């Protein structure tokens, strides 16, 4: 048996707080197909490290698919309909992605989720995502749906205030976290990725974050 099949034994639903749910293994059944689509998307809009407003190069490499994409540069964070790398639209959101995000949101208590953005984050060993809120979207009524693929990572999930001590959750290939409602603006982040070769993506972790931004 290959090691990355073992998590199939762990499908379960964990309520983290009102509005936030971890759906362990929710994406496992489709994970091979999700991984197989990625090269088509990144051929059109390649991964790149973005720069923050303060001039800091983010360690996580990012790209997007969907009607909009999340971008950051010296002008700040925003959503854009075209990929600034070449000026053409981002690749369309694959039906498989949309269906998965909708299904996860529904199971977590947010029916009718209609994402227009999938931010694709790529973590190599040592890369991290500092504690932050997702607050560049036009309104906060839609939840965030976050799908983990590849190497496991420690997810920090805090409260509405930065000062609240975040809990630490190990996220594995196929896990999905959904947060919305009163948890929509909760702080979250990823600790530096530990090297782990045993996954379908080798040592890297890919995260798909679905949002309704426009
Ligand atoms: C994010 O907050 O955009 C990504 C979180 C993750 O990689 O799990
Ligand atoms: Fe985020």
Residue 202 alpha carbon to ligand 1 centre in Å: 19
Q: Is 64 in the pocket of ligand 1 (CB under 6 A)?
A: no
φ, ψ at 154 (rounded to 5°): -95, 115
Residue 138 alpha carbon to ligand 1 centre in Å: 19
- In angstroms, the CA 176 to CA 76 distance is 28
Helix H or strand E encompassing 102? helix 95-107
Closest ligand 1 atom, residue 146 Cα:
8
- In angstroms, the CA 159 to CA 167 distance is 9
Domains annotated on the chain, with CATH: 7-211 (2.60.120.590)
Hey, which residues does 205 pair with through a beta bridge?
A: 123, 150
Burial tier of 213 (Cβ tally within 10 Å: 0-12, 13-18, 19+): buried
Tokens of 25: 């293994």
Task: Tell the residue nearest (CA) to atom 2 of ligand 1.
Answer: 189
Residue 27 alpha carbon to ligand 1 centre in Å: 16
Pairing outcome for strands 176-179 and 144-150: antiparallel
Beta-strand ranges (E) seen in the chain are: 12-17, 20-24, 48-51, 57-66, 69-73, 76-80, 117-123, 129-132, 144-150, 153-157, 167-171, 176-179, 188-190, 205-211
Look at the chain and count its residues.
Answer: 214
- In angstroms, the CA 143 to CA 141 distance is 7
Closest ligand 1 atom, residue 207 Cα:
7
Closest ligand 1 atom, residue 205 Cα:
7
**Tens of pLDDT, residue by residue, the chain (214 residues):** 445 555 555 679 999 999 999 999 999 999 999 999 999 999 999 999 999 999 999 999 999 999 999 999 999 999 999 999 999 999 999 999 999 999 999 999 999 999 999 999 999 999 999 999 999 999 899 999 999 999 999 999 999 999 999 999 999 999 999 999 999 999 999 999 999 878 889 999 999 999 999 9
Task: Tell the residue nearest (CA) to atom 8 of ligand 1.
Answer: 207
Residue 16 CB neighbours (<10 A): 17
> Which of 188, 191, 193, 206 to mutate for ligand 1's pocket (most ligand atoms within 8 Å of CB)?
188
């Amino acid at each position: 048996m290959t090691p990355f099949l073992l998590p199939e034994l762990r499908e379960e639903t964990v309520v983290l707080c009102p509005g936030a749910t971890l759906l362990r293994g929710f994406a496992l059944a489709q994970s091979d197909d999700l991984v197989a689509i990625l090269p088509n998307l990144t051929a059109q809009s390649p991964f790149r490290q973005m720069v923050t407003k303060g001039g800091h190069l983010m360690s996580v490499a990012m790209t997007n698919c969907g009607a909009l994409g999340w971008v950051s540069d010296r002008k700040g964070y925003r959503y854009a309909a075209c990929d600034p790398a070449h000026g053409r639209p981002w690749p369309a959101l694959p039906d498989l992605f949309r269906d998965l995000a909708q299904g996860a949101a529904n199971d977590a208590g947010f029916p009718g989720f209609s994402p227009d953005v999938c931010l694709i984050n790529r973590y190599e060993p040592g890369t991290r995502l500092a504690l932050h809120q997702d607050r560049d979207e036009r309104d906060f009524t839609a939840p965030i749906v976050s799908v983990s693929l590849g190497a496991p990572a420690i997810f920090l999930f805090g409260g509405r205030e930065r000062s609240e001590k975040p809990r630490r959750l190990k996220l594995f290939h196929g896990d999905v976290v959904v947060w919305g409602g009163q948890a929509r603006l909760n702080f979250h982040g990823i600790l530096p990725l530990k090297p782990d070769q045993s996954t379908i993506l080798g040592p890297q972790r890919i995260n798909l974050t679905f949002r309704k931004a426009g």
